[in-house]
Every structure is written in structure tokens, then in C-alpha cells.
Amino acid sequence: MTQTKKPDWRKRIERAIDLAGRHPSAAEVLAFYRRILEFQKTIYDGISSRPALVGNREAGFRQQLDVDAAVQQLPALLSLVQKSGPSKLASQAAEINRTSSEQQRQMLADFLAGGDNAGPSSFFARVLFQPYAEYLAAAPAAQLAGFSGSVCPVCSAKPQVAVLHPEGDGGKRFLVCSFCLTEWEFRRILCPFCGEEDYQKLPRYSAEDLATARVEACDTCKYYLKSVDMTVDGHAIPLVDEIATVALDLWAAEHGYTKISTNLMGF
């Protein structure tokens, strides 16, 4: 399998609007996420029209991402978050806005070097770098056939969400990267964090009003990720539906599970 399709940003944005109307408890976060998607779309469109914005493809994956371009785009993102973001993010944006451009550049470079989604600045770095990362991951060189590992075969980040794509009378499980959004095939009865194979130790939880998504947990390592079932709703977009089902994340946390990798909104 090779991920070569250009991402459909308009469908992502429309899905966020649709789900906000169907899930009032997530309406606020989805409204903000929609604005982030619109912001990321402008970055991606710029890359698509000017491929030179992406660095040398012979370098390591993260080394190809343009920190200087991200620094130039950061003020617009900080302004957006201060105007429309939740209070905690807005405060972080104001704090970052008070730092020098060199400090901001170092913050973004540290994110790329560390490869960790944790930390107060990770939201801003992920928003800025994900369009570049997704553009790179969609290159024909990203050959995924036969890969069965638990971290992204393109950028080595952890998975953010699983997705079941229809196949035959059932579904085939894929994992979606938390950074470059690459999808790769993964066994259905296997914990992506610790490798547990005993189905009795891999409970799944769902809610009646969130039929498309469920929690896939592991009682051995106590980690989980959510799965979006496209055999139930073929219009689902895992990246967006995963954010819309924050109620499942709250349930998992209350029951002692830790998410393998948080989504862009920090859940």
C-alpha cells in the first residue's frame, strides 16, 4: 500500500461542521478544530504550489521540514488561537507571542528534534508542521506494503487512532500516524503499545450515541487508542471523528487507561 492521494481538506472541514451539529458536547472543540483545519489547508496549498518549500528528500524525514517557514507562519497561528482557542491554549499563545523570533524558532526545532507530542508548545508545532509532514508522507517513495510495525513506517511517530476499512464481510484494521497521518495495516487483535495478543486482555468499549468510534484498550500495559469504524459510517474521517468523540477519552482516563498518542486538540 502506498499513500499517494492528496488530502481532501474541504471534506475534513465539512466533517467537523457536521459532527459539531450532531455532538453538542464536542461542538466547541470541533468549531476551533475547523478553524485549525482551515489554517492548515492554507499551508498545504502553499506547499503544493511551491514544492521547493520542502527540504532535501535525501535527508531524514523531520530534517526535511522547514523550521524557518514555520516561524514565519507562527504569528498568524498565535493570533488565531488567542482569538478563537480555549483559554489554556490562548494563554500559551500569548506567552509564546512575547518571546523572540529566535526563541520561537528554537521551540519549533526542539519539537522536531524531540519527536514528542507532549509539552505546552507541541500543539503549535504540530499545527504548523503537519501539513508539511503529510505532503512528504504522500510521496510515492513511502512504500508501506508488508509493514506491520506499531510506529509509523514513514516518520516513526506513534499512532493516534485506528480505523477499520470495509473488506469482504468485515473490516481490516489500519493505524493512523499522529504526525504525518500515514495509514498502515495492523493486526486487529494486537496491542500497538506492548504487543499483547490475548484478546481477553484487549477489551473494547463503545457508547450507544457514538456508534462509529470505540476505545481499544489493553489491560496489560493500560494504554489505549480509539478506533473509527468505517464499516458503520463510510463518510467518517478518522482524523476528525477521533476528535469528536472526546467523551470516550474521558471515559478511558476515568478507568485508568492512558492514550498512546494524543490528538491535535490534546485529548
265 inside domain: no
pLDDT attached to residue 143? 60
- What is the domain range of residue 213? 159-259
26 and 130 share one domain = yes
- Tell me, yes or no, whether 133 and 165 share the same domain: no
Cβ neighbours of 262 (radius 10 Å): 18
100-133 pLDDT, tens digit per residue, is 999 999 999 999 988 555 566 899 999 999 999 9
Residue 267 lies in a domain: no
Measured CA to CA, the distance from residue 221 to residue 217 in angstroms comes to 9
Residue 5 has pLDDT above 70, yes or no: no
The structure's pTM equals: 0.91
145 occurs within a structural domain: no
Asked whether 108 and 73 are in contact (CB, 8 A), the reply is no
Q: Are residues 82 and 13 in the same domain?
A: yes
Average pLDDT over all residues of the chain: 90
Under 8 Å between Cβ of 186 and 174:
yes
Residues 188-223 pLDDT 10s: 999 999 999 999 999 999 988 888 999 999 999 999
Q: Does residue 154 lie within any of the structural domains?
A: no
Query: Is 143 domain-assigned?
Result: no
**Counted domains in the chain:** 2
| Within-domain flag for 95 | yes
